[in-house]
Amino acid sequence: MNDLYLKFAMKPIMLERRSFEWLAAHMASNKAFKPIKPPMMHGASNGMAIIPIQGILTKRSGIFDGMLGMTSYDEIQKQISTALSDDAVQTILLDIDSPGGETSGLFDLADFIYQARRQKTIWAVCNDEAYSAAYGIASSAEKVFINRTSGVGSIGVIASHIDQSAFDEKQGVKYTTVFAGNRKNDLNPHEPITSESMQILQSEVSRLYAMFVELVARNRNLDQSAIRSTEAGLYFGVDAINAGLADKILTFPECIQKAFDQSHMRTFAMTETVPTINPDELLTQGKIQGRSEYHAEALELFRLCKLSKMPEKLGDFLEQNIPVNEAREQLMQLLADRTGTEILSTVSLEPTPQENPVIQAAKARSQMKLTA
């Protein structure tokens, strides 16, 4: 028996029907290799983390999960925790392409994501399919985005008993099982299933289904009756939105751009303050107001006011959005008037080497006014 058989045989799972059939076939053939899934793209520089959730979902990581196209709930939670603890990350994007998987571990992960929404923005992108357990994860995010052909839903639980007793007989193999405890031999694949075992299995499937319906109803703020009415069906595009299972149709690049914008808006909102205007904090003010062109002009205004020895004019220029050229003219005029008084008081009109160019120009302008 291969690893997949040991993981899933006779256990209730949350898996879209077609994938369930593929899994059963895989157990028999013991072949199926998919590309190793990409690692988490941790976008600390752009304020977001993209976490891939792909393939069949399992409780714990296995050594061959990557080759078999699987993702574990433990690994997903670990990556989300890393993003939550990173101050550079403001938005977490769950990139989901999965038919579902094990029930064990799903509810704990879904609750973890649901609670983590209080700390940071968490969105889910159904980047092709998010069925069954995968949709349970997606629904726990604040928003669920899909593209026009994405599929969501399959909100149900399925289990299967594999009776290979006829096959064993053809192979000339006979199993004799010794056990203690009436239920210990339930669901033995080498014997037909008993009615009692069937009832027990159905009871567990129904219990997990009720938990699943309650989970999705809470996450999507819907009545449980609305979730049950889907009958574990698949919903695509606009139909998914109309059913309340998704929020908006966006392509994956559009989702990334939206998450990028969200991250920067949140970062800006968290850092935005209104400082007291003074000449020494000019550059800080320019950055806070978010105007790059203003930043360069403000620097020039600061330089002119400082050279003119009139730093008190800076606040007026900034508040009135006075252009640099106009501010320069005003400063020159003020300096010329002020320098003219000094000239009439017999201050030398010849510029000294220590005088800055603004003062020199103002004295020259004042001299022209006096001789005109």
132 is an active site residue: yes
| Residue 196, helix vs strand vs coil | helix
CATH numeric code, 3-265: 3.90.226.10
The two structure tokens encoding residue 69: 């196209």
More confident of the two residues 369 and 253? 253
> What is the dihedral sign for C-alpha 310, 312, 314, 317?
negative
Q: What is the mean pLDDT of the chain?
A: 76
Residue 70: the pLDDT is: 84
- Going by C-alpha positions, the residue among 355, 313, 353 that lies closest to residue 330 is 313
> What is the dihedral sign for C-alpha 85, 91, 95, 99?
positive
The pair phi, psi for residue 262, each rounded to 5°, is: -60, -40
Give the percent of the chain with pLDDT over 70.
65
pTM for the full predicted model: 0.63
Question: Could you read off the pLDDT of 268-318 as tens digits, one per residue?
Answer: 444 444 334 444 454 444 444 444 455 566 777 777 777 777 776 776 777
248 is an active site residue: no
Question: Could you read off the pLDDT of 309-355 as tens digits, one per residue?
Answer: 777 677 677 767 778 888 888 877 777 766 554 433 333 334 444 55
Which of 50-64, 101-115, 219-233 is least confident? 50-64
Residue 3: the pLDDT is: 43
More confident of the two residues 238 and 275? 238
Question: Could you read off the pLDDT of 78-117 as tens digits, one per residue?
Answer: 999 999 999 888 899 999 999 999 999 999 999 999 999 9
Catalytic residue selected from 184, 248, 309, 369: 184
More confident of the two residues 316 and 173? 173
Residue 64: the pLDDT is: 54
More confident of the two residues 16 and 75? 75
How far does the chain reach from its first CA to its final CA, in angstroms? Answer: 107
* β-strand partners of 70: 56
More confident of the two residues 265 and 343? 265
Would you list the domain boundaries of the chain? 3-265, 279-371
> Whole-angstrom Cα distance, residue 139 to residue 154?
12
Residues 6+ apart with CB under 8 A from 177: 185, 188, 190, 191
Catalytic residue selected from 19, 98, 132, 154: 132
Question: Could you read off the pLDDT of 12-54 as tens digits, one per residue?
Answer: 666 655 555 555 554 444 444 344 444 444 444 478 899 999 9
